[in-house]
Amino acid sequence: MTGTPSRRRHLSALRTPLGVVTALLAITVLVLAVVAPILWTDSAKAVDTDDILAGPSAEHWAGTDNLGRDIVFRTLVATRLSIELALSATLIAVVVGLVLGVAPQLLGRRAGRLVTASINIAVAFPGLLLALFFAVVFGIGATGAVLAIGLAGAPSFARLVQTMVAGVVSLDYVAAARTAGVGRFRILVRHVLPNVAEPLVVNATIGAGGALLAFAGLSFLGLGVQAPAYDWGRLLFDGVSALYVNPGAALVPGLAVLVTGLSFNLFGESIAKAVGVPTQGTALAPRTVVAPRRSTDHAGPATEAPVGGTDDVVLDVRDLEVAFPGADGPVQVVRGVTFAVRRGEAVGIVGESGSGKSLTALAVSQLVDDLGQVDAERLRFLGEDLLTSDTAARRKMLGTSMAMVFQDPMTSFNPTRRIGGQLAEVSRHHHGLDRKQAMARAVDRLGAVRIPAPERRARQYPHEFSGGMRQRAMIGMGIMGSPSLIIADEPTTALDVTVQQQVLDLLAAIRREDDVALVLISHDVTVVGEVCDRVLVMYAGRIVEDLPAADLATAGRHPYTQALVAAVPSMDTALDEPLAVIPGRPVDPADVPPGCAYAARCPLATERCRVEDPPLAGDERGRVACWHAGEPIEPMQLSTTRTDVP
């Protein structure tokens, strides 16, 4: 390989004038830290009682101290201790910060929040004040100062780590690993930490500069290194007391602190800028992830049969609700969704953006984020109650029997790991295969999803795959086990049309061959009509119609279903004409009107619709929630053009 993109970006940081200067300075300081004590310790120790507190001369460029020792040599020799102390303190800050920063991901919801709150409080304290506090606690001297500065720096690293971890855990490949039942600790080690390592190292470089300055501050207050040992801070402390006799005694070590601190700081900043990593000043609000809670207020009879009977039911969802906190109390975004999926059945979920399709799927796969509250009367997968506590057996069952395919193939894989290894992880984790067997299975599955030269491809990184291939590899990951259900959320939206068809064909083939059930979420009514047996139409967090896919194009009974179909451009649509859209705007989940949520946009709406919410009533043709189901509507009333929308 010719070098990774990130390595190339690091090098580009060195090409800016600031990058070059600060890198050279930082390297010089590190070299001095190694060689100066070897070369000049004797000269730095040499006492000259005839030349005490002398000013600059040809022999002593910056003069001498109160024992006649050369200031320049002492400053050079002090480089090693100063750097050692600064790096030790930085190491402590990074390690403690890392532990605290990942803790909310590993601990339960309550303990995680406690850690987050403590970090937030600690971050709000000025660093030097914290350092002074710890210095007093740990005692005066080098060890106390290292611990004090290290611990005082930890909260800001913890905040940074927390922010970065929260950014990574929301990506699809982490969600996929969670669905695959990979434990929190393993996810952290395999997927999260490799992706935060680079920004952490860059920030540690910046932190080392800050630590140097902090040591100078503590030593200046007499709390740092004690004589006869000396670092730059100690020299500064001694020099200041003789400032009026020989200013060089304070100036030279002061300059060493300033230049080294700045060079570390700016070098770190220029790398950060070049590679685009966040620094400690750019922290975002943290977010933690935990499993949904069990509903208490909807605990209904668990023995009731799923919609349409119990035969071969893979997924059984009854009265599913998802709510998020809003400005005026919880906002319900999924409002009582009930459906079942049978073995080998393909069920499509359609609806406009924001109708609750994705959250329904996320709730089923236990991936709704921490803020979301998931309640259901029943949520069963292969007969297992998904609302019960987070047991290893349940995780394993989800991991081997349910597969998720996400919209964005860019974020579906961990960019730092080879594709084959990521697929193999599932089998090593769940099927007890050793590394070699798991890799063989991964190669086999890549072949099964029609990826050419699977053995070679397995050794490649995600960025070496095209979008369509990545999506197929994601499906391959889903079939590492023998899933009973694949949930595909807009799996083709990010792909071009020909690749879309290949991915849909692949899903259909897997379904046929292995009798796998499929839940396909899509904006695209045509795609769903082609691939699925049955379609759930969602509006404002509810299922408004459940009908055979064959009826979707012509026999939808809900006016919303008909409007969705009418808004699909046909082959006869003139390219220069504006696209058809459904009149009006979708409902704001925070402000759902009484009665039927679609009434304001519906050509059939009457007073009753605006007052009474129609139930989802079932008959032999499916289920529909409309007081005027099946009543005729003029095609003109179903859709309008984009230009007519106010």
Residues that bind ligand ATP (CB under 6 A): 324, 333, 351, 353-359, 369, 371-372, 523, 589
Give which of 565, 558, 562 is closest to 627, Cα–Cα: 558
Rounded CA-CA distance 480/431 in Å is 9
Smaller CB separation from ligand ATP, 10 or 523: 523
With beta carbons less than 8 A apart as the criterion, state whether 404 and 364 touch.
no
* Spatial separation of the C-alpha atoms in residues 367 and 242, rounded to whole Å: 65
Sequence length of the chain is 646
Cis ω before 228 (30° cut-off from 0): yes
- Count Cα neighbours of 536 within 13 Å in the Cβ-side half-sphere: 29
Which residue lies nearer to ligand ATP by CB, 369 or 551? 369
Q: Which is nearer to ligand ATP, 267 or 406 (CB)?
A: 406
Query: Judged by CB, which is closer to ligand ATP: 354, or 584?
Result: 354
Closest approach of ligand ATP to the CB of residue 403, in Å? 19
Whole-angstrom distance, CA of residue 488 vs CA of residue 361: 9
> Could you tell me the smallest distance in angstroms from the CB atom of residue 446 to ligand ATP?
28
Smallest gap from residue 398 Cβ to ligand ATP (A): 20
Nearer Cβ to ligand ATP (404/479) = 404
Report, in Å, the least distance between residue 109 CB and ligand ATP: 16
Report the nearest approach of ligand ATP to the CB of residue 541 (Å): 7
Residue whose CB is less far from ligand ATP, 108 or 325? 325
Pure H helices in 188-247: 193-220, 232-241
| Nearer CB in complex with ligand ATP: 288/422 | 288
Nearest approach, Cβ of residue 589 and ligand ATP (Å): 5
Residue (19 or 529) nearer to ligand ATP, CB:
529
Helix axes 71-106 and 193-220, enclosed angle (nearest 10): 140
**CA pair distance 273, 279, nearest whole angstrom:** 9
Please report how close the Cβ of residue 326 comes to ligand ATP at its closest, in angstroms: 8
| Residue 583 Cβ vs ligand ATP, minimum distance, rounded to whole Å | 19
Q: Cβ 579 to ligand ATP, closest distance in Å?
A: 17
Q: Token digits for 154? A: 């930890």
Closest separation in Å from C-beta 503 to ligand ATP = 18
- Of the candidates 322, 477, 339, 471, the one whose C-alpha atom is nearest the C-alpha of residue 387 is 322
Exposed / middle / buried, residue 323 (Cβ in 10 Å: 0-12, 13-18, 19+): buried
Q: Residue 144 or 589: which CB sits closer to ligand ATP? A: 589
End-to-end CA distance of the chain: give it in Å, rounded: 55
Q: What tokens were used for 588?
A: 């704001």
Query: Residue 597 Cβ, how far from ligand ATP at the closest point, in Å?
Result: 12
Please choose, from the candidates 232, 229, 223, the residue with its C-alpha nearest in 3D space to the C-alpha of residue 259.
232
Q: Which residue, 351 or 421, is less far from ligand ATP as judged by CB? A: 351
Buried-exposed string 274-305: b where 16+ CB fall within 10 A, e elsewhere: bbebbbbeebeebbbbbbbebbeebeeeeeee
We find the least distance from the C-beta atom of residue 489 to ligand ATP, in angstroms, to be 7
Q: Judge contact between 351 and 546, C-beta under 8 A.
A: no
225: nearest Cα among 70, 125, 77: 77
Q: Are 322 and 333 spatial neighbours (Cβ–Cβ below 8 Å)?
A: yes
- Apex CA 626: angle with CA 622 and CA 629, to 5°? 65
Task: Decide if 480 contacts 440 (C-beta within 8 A).
Answer: no
Measured from the CB atom, the residue of 265 and 522 that comes closer to ligand ATP is 522
| Minimum separation from the CB atom of position 367 to ligand ATP (A) | 11
Contact by Cβ (8 Å): 97, 153: yes
Choose between 357 and 441: whose C-beta lies nearer to ligand ATP: 357
DSSP element (H, E) containing 401 = helix 392-401
Q: Let me know: does 296 contact 328? Beta carbons within 8 Å.
A: no
- Contact status, residue 522 vs residue 418, Cβ threshold 8 Å: no
Q: Which is nearer to ligand ATP, 74 or 357 (CB)?
A: 357
Q: Is the Cβ of residue 315 or residue 521 nearer to ligand ATP in the bound state?
A: 521
Q: How far is the CB of 172 from ligand ATP (least distance, A)?
A: 13
**Least distance to ligand ATP, CB of residue 543, Å:** 12
Strand, helix or coil at 182?
coil
DSSP line for 366-393: T---TT-EEE-SEEEETTEETTS---HH
The residue among 217 and 372 lying less far from ligand ATP, judged by its C-beta, is 372
On whether the CB atoms of residues 567 and 581 are closer than 8 A, the answer is yes
CB neighbours (10 Å) of residue 585? 11
* 646 burial level (CB within 10 Å; 0-12, 13-18, 19+): exposed
